[in-house]
Amino acid sequence: MKILIIGAGAAGSVVAKKCAMNSEIFQDIHLASRTLSKCDAIKEDIKAKQGKNIHTYKLDADDVSETTQLLKEIQPDLVINMALPYQDLHIMDACLEAGCHYMDTANYEPIDVAKFEYHWQWAYQDKFKEAGLMAILGCGFDPGQTNIYCAYAQKNLFDEIHEIDIIDCNAGDHGKAFATNFNPEINLREVTQRGKYWENGQWIETEPLEFRKMINFPEVGEKAGYLLYHEELESLVQNIKGLKRIRFWMTFGDEYIKHMEVLQNIGMTRIDPVIHNGVEIVPIQFLKTLLPEPSSLAEDYTGKTSIGCIMTGIKDGKEKTILIYNVCDHAQTHAEVQAQAVSYTTGVPPVTGAIMLAKGLWNMEPGVWNVEQLDPDPFMDEVAKQGLPWHITELDSGLGALTERRTAFKYKDKAA
């Protein structure tokens, strides 16, 4: 398979290196980014460790014509989009122009509005069908692996799933006063927007981090999880039958929350332009330049991530609750691909998805698809081999109703 990876950040590096480790499938690997030096550094690392040569390019993925030209030159079987969510539609447009299949790990988000929804990409359904091309959305970990956990449970473990709680814990320590584990701009936009969950046929909005719940994470222990809106909720509501409630929980340390509140209150997370010394800047983009690169955190990272789905439903007329999860060790992922576990868990699933296509284990039916609409069984087998083993345990009960609250952030700057 000939593959083009767009984006050479922390997770994009994992994708390139894991593809190189599967050289019998990915015989021809191409990597493009706005910053060519990042691509070349990954290329040299792959050459030194795997003895495989990959091809690198400088690319502005916001420029549809430039991206189309590169795709026509390379003619890849699949484009894996590891760039920013702002660029999803541009890259999808280029794939349509050049006749390439498409895959990403995060849904589209307008650069001027901190709001991510699938409807912009779902609107491409007819275009991809007519072009005879496939677009696979959200093939990271969450979204991605979590969606496939739900699809696997629906196919093999339940007759109906009534409640889903997606739980995401990073119990690692990178030793920095404040840093984000993936792109700081995307991370802070995600966390500071209003929360949302789905229950009894309707969406219910919350204040940012308004609800918290103590959750016992496998191999990590009890941590405070905060309710967020996350994009996989939108597609799972449509694709999991019998669903009555779905929520997403993520852990944050007290220091992280303290720093985030201060940054928000002084306007550093604003996404609208301001004038500084006569120059227009976007505060959150300036903040991004001050914070550590996520890829730089890997070397000294300790601890583990623990991510999974708690599901309650009916099987053979009886109610049961299960947890499907993965635990990933930061030190082990650094030893393998010089990446921290958050980047690793994001990068392994798209490589696995590409293997599904290369081996014909996912039907190449034209159109736009979320991963839970595809066969979960071969993916679950392969993703464990690729470095993300999964486990199933039965629980006495699910997380239950929202009972804990915290004081919502009192943002001084509503423009954010």
pLDDT (tens, 9 = 90+) of the chain, 416 residues, equals 999 999 999 999 999 999 999 999 999 999 999 999 999 999 999 999 999 999 999 999 999 999 999 999 999 999 999 998 989 999 999 999 999 999 999 998 877 666 778 999 999 999 999 999 999 999 999 999 999 999 999 999 999 999 999 999 999 777 666 766 666 666 777 777 888 999 999 999 999 889 999 999 999 999 999 999 999 999 999 999 999 999 999 998 777 777 777 777 778 778 788 898 888 988 878 887 877 777 677 677 889 999 999 999 999 999 999 999 999 999 999 999 999 999 999 999 999 999 999 999 998 899 999 999 999 999 999 999 999 999 999 999 999 998 877 666 554 443 33
Which is it for strands 195-199 and 202-206: parallel, antiparallel or unpaired?
Answer: antiparallel
Neighbours of 290 (CB within 10 A): 9
- The residues spanned by each domain of the chain are 2-141+341-388, 145-335
Any residues with CB less than 8 A from the CB of 141 and at least 6 apart, and which? Answer: 307, 326, 345, 346, 348, 349, 388
Gap between the Cα atoms of 108 and 114, Å rounded: 11
Gap between the Cα atoms of 379 and 356, Å rounded: 7
CATH of domain 2-141+341-388: 3.40.50.720
Beta bridge partners of 214: 224
**Residue 320 token pair:** 């049961």
**Amino acid of residue 137:** L
**In this predicted structure, what is the pLDDT of residue 222?**
96
**In this predicted structure, what is the pLDDT of residue 112?**
67
**In this predicted structure, what is the pLDDT of residue 411?**
44
Mean pLDDT of the chain: 91
pTM, two decimals, is: 0.91
- Domain 145-335: give its CATH superfamily: Dihydrodipicolinate Reductase; domain 2 (3.30.360.10)
**Residue 404 token pair:** 């804990």
**In this predicted structure, what is the pLDDT of residue 98?**
98
**In this predicted structure, what is the pLDDT of residue 15?**
98
Beta bridge partners of 367: 134
What DSSP letter does each residue of 320-389 carry, written as one string? Answer: EEEEEEEEEEHHHHHHHHS--HHHHHHHHHHHHHHHHHHTT-S---SEEEEGGGS-HHHHHHHHHHTT--
**In this predicted structure, what is the pLDDT of residue 298?**
62
310 burial via Cβ count (<10 Å: 0-12, 13-18, 19+): buried
Contact by Cβ (8 Å): 4, 32: yes
**In this predicted structure, what is the pLDDT of residue 114?**
64
Gap between the Cα atoms of 127 and 129, Å rounded: 5
Beta bridge partners of 227: 249
**In this predicted structure, what is the pLDDT of residue 410?**
53
